[in-house]
Structure 1
Amino acid sequence: MERTFRIKEVNGNTSFQDKKIVVNKTEINLLIVLELGGTLQFNRVYNDIWKVVKMDRIADLEKIAELNKEYEYKNVCLVHHGNIFSDTSNPKSSLARAILFANKIREIKLVISKLTEIPKEINEAYATKILEKSKLMFAKNGPDELKIKTFLGLKMLIGAILDNGAFFSVACNEANKPEFLEELADLTDKKIKIFGNTNFSLIDDSGDQNIGKLVVENYRCILNSFLSSQWKNKNGWLYYDTELKKTITTKKDLWLFSKGTKIYQLITRTEKLTTQQTNKEGFAQQYFSKTFETFYIKHWGKAKYEGWKKNTEETYPEFK
């Protein structure tokens, strides 16, 4: 990509001037998790798709700037509680949770529209300018510093997603009001999709399983599974398509992969999964789990594990 730098000499001209220089960044699929447990569930799964990062809050502009300096994003997945963009398990964060809804995003955008100058770089100084203007425009209940920084953090992330990518907000009920997805989509000029759920989402899975008299503990992960923890709203996952400029109601559940070239799949389901769907999810959790592999080899040996793995691949060749 091209970036503009302020440098002193260009072709013999010693005055300061702007010059566009091509900067090579690594293209990745970024998964940010905000909640308690952090990267643990993702560390126990075989994963060659996602770079997993634990953050306490999306308002950490410096952290996001560091990521953006090194990477461009093919896709971004954010795992969190609905409309809360900070770690709710952190005592300090719980005192000032970064809660953001569509109405507050619109207020922040209004404040920004009244600034006399829009900086090229999003940073703490920019956040301060927005906050100062907010205090002048709103006598009370205007956008505060945390909400402003959360908005800017989301803008930095979503704005760095490449064309044909997606932003997956794995959280509960954020798409019950599709306008929220529309506001997130307004944070980019790229052709991407912004996903949100109309049901509760699974954001952590540390489940155990009994196998005979034995128990394999903490082996599961939200990857390679149906991401809706219940199915009350038949609209399922929605996404806003910035190219089509409209919201699509999929009426399907979302499945994120951990290995291979396929990032996600939208799958038709009902409130209760079919036997075939339950079996596939169960085998997927075992097949991609490092913890399950260790458990199996410990009790039955490497050869039997390889046999089990081969049989699983024959049933589900897409796992390979």
Structure 2
Amino acid sequence: METLTVGRAKLTWLNGGVTHMDGGAMFGVVPYPLWSKKYPHNDKNQIELRCDVILVQLDGKNMIIDSGIGRSKLNDKQKRNFGVLEESKVDESLNELGLTVEDIDYVLMTHLHFDHANGLTKPDNGELVSAFPNAIIFTSKVEWDEMRNPNMRSKNTYWEENWKPIQHQVKTFETSIEVVPGLTMHHTGGHSDGHSVIKFEDDEESFIHMADLMPTHAHQNPLWVLAYDDYPVTSVHEKKKLQDESYEKNRWFVFYHDAYYRAIKFNENKEIDEAIKRPHYEYS
């Protein structure tokens, strides 16, 4: 498991499973000859997207960013359609660190699409229960409201089985919230109406998790947004603003979906300066 220390915070990437999604959809209106040079794809033009939960250990608290693709919840058709060749092993990853799911204090949900929220619940004796029973689950109020009342488009990704068992654990916020000193969540919209990003600052050291505004290193161009985005123009403006702020502060960019980089710092030319790479394995 790859790790990164940023000030008081230690980040560790847990195995949250993998999807393979259509590259064209993941890069929106960007032509194939451009995006295909930035991120590898298979013969179906699918790109590998991890769903690797980020464990943040800070001030005696264990918190995770998003929850993985889940386990034993997808049927064969869903696995095929979403290219799920490996399901979550978050429990096993935590056990390797001497932790259990009961030790998770906070779950920070950037948004509640299935590939981020499916790991919030798990099957237990024929019913679904909370996967992190002792945690407070943070998400924006806009996202939580739509999760429970999706529209005709979003009902395909906001699933009842991912919210009903955990609704008593959820704490929402309007614009932003400070989870612990220096660690904040900010509602941005764009990818989904309730999408949020996560920032951490400790003196001169900081990181940002832009979630699906910048899901991989190949999405660095502010104009390269997803066809899945509900509000792509919002995505462009929020992404540009956050990137400029983060470049100026020399922040680490940390990733949930990227199959190649866990975290990146960019230099003054916006080129990769430092990086935590993920050992890449081909899935058959």
The question of a shared fold, defined as TM-score above 0.5 by the shorter chain, is answered with no
- Structure with bigger strand share is 2
Q: Larger RCO: Structure 1 or Structure 2 (Cα < 8 Å, ≥ 6 residues apart)?
A: 2
TM (normalized to structure 2)?
0.32
- Structure with bigger helix share is 1
